[in-house]
Every structure is written in C-alpha cells, then in structure tokens.
Amino acid sequence: MKRSFIVAGLLLAVTVIGVNVGASNHSAQTSQYAPDDPSLEVATFAGGCFWCAEAGFEVLPGVVEAVSGYTGGPEVNPTYKQVAGGRTGHTEAVQVYYDPEVITYEGLLQGLWRMMDPTDADGQFVDRGRQYRPGIFYHTPEQQALAEAAKQALIAENRYPNPVIIDIVPFEIFYDAEEYHQDYYKTNPIRYNVYTRNSGRYQFIDAIWGEDKEIDYGQFRPAAMSNSNSNSGFNPDTFTKPDAETLKQRLTPIQYKVTQEDGTERAYSNVYWDEKREGIYVDIVSGEPLFSSRDKYKSGTGWPSFTQPIKPDILVEKEDRKLFSVRTEIRSRFADSHLGHVFSDGPQPTGLRYCMNSAAMRFIPKEEMEAEGYGEYLELVGPPIS
C-alpha cells in the first residue's frame, strides 16, 4: 500500500457514499461534499494521488470544490484499503465542481496537464499500479471532444520523452473517498508536504513545463463582451467599440494583448487550433462574423487556419513590416481587432492560409448559432476541411 506511512494510525471510519451522475454535466448535488449550487458544472479527472489532484484543482480560478474519490471500476462502495490494494478496478480521482462563467473545461484540462504525467498508464510517480493511473472521464460529448482535442494538442507540443497515452473514457460512477482524505493538503499539511516532496511529482512537472508551468487562466474565461454574448448577433449600425479601459476590464490579458496590441499567442497552446466542431468564429470584441468551420483546416502551425473568410470584404488587410519582413496583417472591419496574418501557402481552392489567433475570436457551435442571432450564416457552415 502506497502512502501507508502517512495514513497509518488514523482512526476514522467513514461510510463511503456512491455517486452516479450518469451523462449529466449538471450534478452539483450528487456528492455529499458538493457545493449547493445548481449552476456549477462537474468534471472528473484522475492524476495519481487524489490529494495532489484535489490541491491542484482547488487553486484554479472558477473551481469551487474538488472532491477526492474513486471511479472507473465495478466495485460498489469501495474503501481506500480496497482501492489502494488494486483489487477494485477503480482509480483515485477527483470530482471537480466549477463555475462555467469563470473557467471553461479547456482551462481545467490545461490545469490537469500541469499536475500529472499523461505518459504513465501504470501509476503516477512513487504510487504504482493501475489504481493510480491518469484518466479523463467525460460527462458529455462536448467534454469528450474537448479532451480529445487537448490531448492531440499536447502530443503536438512534443514535450514528453514518452508517448501521451492518457485514457479518455465515459464517466459512469464516482464514490466519495473517506472523510479524512478530503482537503488532506489543508488538514495535514506537514504530512502532505513530506509526501509530495518525496514523490517526484513537482520535480517532473518543473522539468517538463519550465516557464510554461504558470499560465494565464483568464484566457479560459468565457467572453463577457456584451455584443458578442448577446442573442442578437452582430449589427454594424449599433456597434460602438468600447474604450481601452473598458476593454481591459472585459477582455482577458491575452485577448487584449492580441487584439489591441497586435500580439501573438503561443502555437498549440490556444483554444481553437484543433477545434473540429461545426460552427462560426466571431470577433471577441464586436461579435462580427469572421470565419466558418467549413473553411478551417489543420495547417500544422499550431494556430487556427482558414482558406477564406466567411464572406468577402469582411476583413481588412494591412501591410506589416515588423519582424524584418513584409507580411499581410488581418484585422476585423468594425472592431479593428488584430486577428493574425494571411499567407499564400494554403490549400486550394484559394491557396491562402488565414493564420489567426484564438484569443481574437469566439467560437459559436452550429447548434447555438440560431439562438445567438447568427442563423443567417447557417448555410455557410460545414465540417472542417481536415
């Protein structure tokens, strides 16, 4: 049994509560430790020792509670002793309750990468055995699509010496761990710190991620722009661009840097580079339509790329002589947001590659376009080219 030197002597006997949330992603009352807030959404992850995963998620913005428990196996109401002994098929996991208005599921995935090893299916660090395997247990088809996209993006970054093999499987059931495991990093800080320091977890994360370990989770906050989040689509006759101070309050730091200061986000570490769903991409500031999924293709650059805008004459081209070369900058017509650049190395029929920044755009899935006021563009939306 791993970590027995830490938990030995604890005299607590707590009944384990079984939690089955099925395919619902709105199950904030299913665990006895869940917050009493029906607006929260739930996600389930495994990253080895659930003390560490719980501590890692609870510092993320928008995460209200992370509950330690067991999932992935057939045993009903398993105990810690059974799971740690590898006799149940379960793995240690955390149920994460989060505010979708503050952080997206993509943001949670980025946090997960920075607290575990997705290349080790037989345990995590000093904790060995399938009961400590990493995993993503999706509650909805959307979570599955986002998890698969994030996994492919992680593979493309080529950070690890070994293949990224973390399982992405349907969520079935979650059992709360015994009470003494909940918030262990708070209730037993000395023992927790001794364990983590000796486990090798944080040394591994530092070596793999380096300066990229700390990221701006604000980029994973749903846009709060009144125009782009309204149900009336985009009306150029009524749109007025907010002033700089207002934009700084409404946009995340990376969104402001890209759109207002002509910045560029990191390749393969942005939201839409591998987005495969059908839908429309609109300006993050104004909501004006920019691109359709129909014209999106995988360029191998790590940024979302399109062969053409959704309609002619909706973009503005400017000569860009920065970086000791001449490029063609692309800006939105009404919000004047810097979007990216266009190059002549794209596929047919246009031969163009509109290389855009995810931070400059908001993606609206096809099934939500009508409700958000973009129904007139439905006939222009289709599956990505590749």
CATH code of the domain containing 207: 3.30.1060.10
Quick check: 311 pLDDT over 80? Answer: yes
Boundary residue ending a domain (158, 190, 218): 218
> Could you write out the DSSP letters of every residue in 265-297?
PPTTSSSSTT--S-EEEEETTT--EEEEGGGEE
- Per-residue pLDDT reduced to its tens digit, 319-330: 988 877 889 999
Give the 3-state secondary structure percentages of the chain, helix then strand then coil, rounded to 5: 30, 20, 50
pTM of structure:
0.63
> Would 325 be classed as within a structural domain?
yes
> Would 40 be classed as within a structural domain?
yes
Task: Say which residue the tokens 């059908």 belong to.
Answer: 278
Q: Give 360's DSSP letter.
A: G
Instruction: Assess whether 52 carries a catalytic annotation.
Output: no
Boundary residue ending a domain (162, 189, 218): 218
Q: 370: which 2 tokens?
A: 């009508």
Residue 3 is predicted with a pLDDT of: 46
> Would 385 be classed as within a structural domain?
no
Is there a single domain that holds both residue 244 and residue 190? no
Phi–psi pair at 64, nearest 5 degrees: -90, -35
95 or 5: which carries more pLDDT confidence? 95
Is there a single domain that holds both residue 29 and residue 177? yes
Is there a single domain that holds both residue 189 and residue 46? yes
Taking alpha carbons only, the member of 350, 272, 353 closest to residue 305 is 353
β-pairing, 134-138 vs 167-170, is parallel
Quick check: 28 pLDDT over 80? Answer: no
Using alpha carbons only, give the angle 295, 298, 304 rounded to the nearest 5 degrees.
Answer: 70
Is there a single domain that holds both residue 241 and residue 173? no
Given a contact cutoff of 8 angstroms between Cβ atoms, the answer to whether 330 and 281 are in contact is no
Quick check: 2 pLDDT over 60? Answer: no
- Please tell me which residue in 28, 43, 49, 55 is annotated as part of the active site: 49
Give 41's pLDDT tier (boundaries 50, 70, 90): very high
Q: Please give the share of the chain, as a percent, with pLDDT higher than 70.
A: 90
Q: Please tell me the distance from the alpha carbon of residue 308 to that of residue 342, in angstroms, as a whole number.
A: 9
Helix (H) or strand (E) holding 368: helix 366-369
Is there a single domain that holds both residue 248 and residue 166? no
Residue 27 burial class via C-beta count within 10 angstroms: exposed 0-12, middle 13-18, buried 19 and up? buried
Boundary residue ending a domain (184, 202, 218): 218
Is there a single domain that holds both residue 205 and residue 235? no
> Would 372 be classed as within a structural domain?
yes
> Would 162 be classed as within a structural domain?
yes
Instruction: Assess whether 49 carries a catalytic annotation.
Output: yes
> Would 386 be classed as within a structural domain?
no
Phi–psi pair at 200, nearest 5 degrees: 90, 0
Q: Please tell me the distance from the alpha carbon of residue 306 to that of residue 314, in angstroms, as a whole number.
A: 14
332 or 142: which carries more pLDDT confidence? 332
Q: Give 199's DSSP letter.
A: H
Is there a single domain that holds both residue 15 and residue 129? yes
Given a contact cutoff of 8 angstroms between Cβ atoms, the answer to whether 159 and 208 are in contact is yes
Q: Please give the share of the chain, as a percent, with pLDDT higher than 90.
A: 71
> Would 294 be classed as within a structural domain?
yes
| Residue 104, helix vs strand vs coil | coil
Q: Please tell me the distance from the alpha carbon of residue 279 to that of residue 320, in angstroms, as a whole number.
A: 30
Helices then strands, each counted (H, E), the chain = 11, 18
Q: Please tell me the distance from the alpha carbon of residue 216 to that of residue 296, in angstroms, as a whole number.
A: 26
Is there a single domain that holds both residue 242 and residue 289? yes
Q: Please tell me the distance from the alpha carbon of residue 273 to that of residue 301, in angstroms, as a whole number.
A: 9
- Per-residue pLDDT reduced to its tens digit, 156-190: 888 999 999 999 999 999 999 999 999 999 999 99
Is there a single domain that holds both residue 159 and residue 11? yes
Is there a single domain that holds both residue 297 and residue 348? yes
Quick check: 286 pLDDT over 90? Answer: yes
> Would 105 be classed as within a structural domain?
yes
Share the mean pLDDT of the chain.
87
- Per-residue pLDDT reduced to its tens digit, 101-132: 899 999 999 999 999 999 999 999 999 999 99
> Could you write out the DSSP letters of every residue in 324-355?
GS-EEEEEETTT--EEEEEES---TTTT-EEE
Quick check: 63 pLDDT over 80? Answer: yes
Residue 210 domain boundaries = 4-218
Q: Looking at the 3D structure of the chain, how many domains does it have?
A: 2
Is there a single domain that holds both residue 166 and residue 252? no
- Please tell me which residue in 330, 355, 361, 364 is annotated as part of the active site: 355
CATH number of 348's domain: 2.170.150.20
Using alpha carbons only, give the angle 250, 253, 256 rounded to the nearest 5 degrees.
Answer: 65
Quick check: 17 pLDDT over 80? Answer: no
Is there a single domain that holds both residue 214 and residue 236? no
